[in-house]
Amino acid sequence: MNKPDFRYYLITSRKACAPRPLPEVVGEACAAGIKAVQLREKDLSGNALSQLAHQVREVTAQYDARFFINGRPDVAEVVEADGVHCPEEGFPSSAVRQYWPQFSIGASVHSLEAAKQAEQEGADFLLFGPVFFTPSKEEYGKPQGTDRLKKVCDGTSIPVYAVGGVTPAKVPECMDSGAYGVAGISALMEADNIGRKVEAFRKQLYG
């Protein structure tokens, strides 16, 4: 597969952007230049998730942004998303590859071993983290740091996005470690001025 056409991967959290509705915030981010969005709303039932996914699909399509659904290839198929994002213990990349060959596949990994496995299972790109400290990823333990990020980038041959506490200022050290891009939830979801924040990331990612 061709390398992804995005360097920033926006991960949603409707709770982080409340009271503003998620589709509106995603639309603002896309208008500012975001080219890839992952819908990650794990607590929603299938029905509620598919309704929200339809709305976000509409917004992302308007801006020609790639749209991924976390962990649910069925929902991704129903809303005609571009891909599925597979959590490490979630729906396996190999099963998505086999039954939904139309999808592009991102996979979250928290170790080099898992990164190699995800690549072998057919993932198109990886999310590795948490690289830096972030409250939203506390469940995954201590920050892994850029040394481990570099090991994952060196040990795999597909693009790796750094996630977890990545601010615009920290983008250069991620790229120096071999990252293809960065991903984030709170950096944009909670931003007061999304356009300015996207621009700050853009300058660091594209120079």
Footprint of another protein (CB under 8 A): 45-48, 50, 71-75, 77-78, 87, 89-92, 95-96, 98-99
Q: Which two tokens stand for residue 5?
A: 């056409």
CB of 70 to another protein, least distance (A): 11
Closer to another protein by CB, 23 or 71: give it: 71
d(CA 14, CA 23): 9
CB of 87 to another protein, least distance (A): 8
Closer to another protein by CB, 57 or 72: give it: 72
Q: Is the peptide bond before 87 cis (omega within 30 degrees of 0)?
A: no
CB of 50 to another protein, least distance (A): 6
Q: Name residue 109's beta-bridge partners.
A: 128
Closer to another protein by CB, 103 or 132: give it: 103
d(CA 130, CA 142): 8
Closer to another protein by CB, 99 or 133: give it: 99
d(CA 69, CA 110): 19
Pairing type for strands 36-39 and 66-70 reads parallel
